[in-house]
Amino acid sequence: MMKFRPAAERGHAQHGWLDSWHTFSFANYYDPEHMGFRALRVINDDRVAAGQGFGRHSHHDMEIISYVLEGALEHKDSIGTGSVIRPGDVQRMSAGTGVAHSEYNASRTDLVHFLQIWLLPSERGIAPSYAQKTFTREDKRGRLRLLASPDGRDGSISIRSDASLYAGLFAAGESAALSIERGRHAYVHVAEGRARVNGRELSAGDGVALSDEPSVRIEGIDGASKGEVLVFELG
């Protein structure tokens, strides 16, 4: 079974400095039909104006992944971490018992476009922690590269959630498939460009939840413009 989530049907918030699209219910956007999917609770597609950002705020008991598509995002938190996240970087923050952080556009001239992803943790009350790793475009070209997983296998970042996150860049003629074990699920989000998912063409911002499907197959559509796709494998 495949349940599609068109980009235009997502929740939308326009705050001037922030243009945000919500795949699932978030903040003032509430839709009981879209509260998350399995452990995947939030995919926010955010564009932040130059020099602007999210002031210091707190989280707890959530696995938070930031994935930058364009520009640079500056992160600072209460456990002493400070970094700038750029395209190709994957940042994981385990909020655990509680962490405060801020996120700002690191540029004074250009916007930053990034995805903020929340995953429900498999264990509550853990100590907060942070990890960041870079995956090049070559790492993801024409394949699904594992970025995050519960056991940190294959050089991925470890996360405390029953979820594995893959990403790939696909041009026309390129494809990859990911098997889904019986009883498990997948969610696909097209971050940029276009791609075909199990035969269905999707564009940037579109998503699809998959249950009782043996695999996810991603195919590129465009030539020079590559489709960037995230795949969540979920319990």
Which domains does the chain carry?
Answer: 8-135 (2.60.120.10), 138-234 (2.60.120.10)
Q: What is the pTM of this model?
A: 0.95
Choose among 165, 160, 92: nearest CA to 123: 160
Q: What is the pLDDT of residue 225?
A: 67
pLDDT for residue 170: 96
What is the pLDDT at residue 185? 98
Residue 187 to residue 209: CA distance in whole angstroms: 4
Strand ranges (E), 60-193: 63-70, 73-77, 82-85, 89-94, 99-105, 112-119, 129-134, 145-149, 157-158, 163-170, 175-179, 185-192
Token pair for residue 113? Answer: 């476009």
Question: Mean pLDDT by 10-residue block, N- to C-terminus, for the chain (235 residues)?
Answer: 97 96 96 97 97 82 95 83 89 88 88 97 91 95 97 97 97 96 97 97 98 97 87 98
The Cβ of residue 184 has, within 10 Å, a number of other Cβ atoms equal to 17
| pLDDT confidence of residue 193 | 96
pLDDT given for residue 37 in this prediction: 98
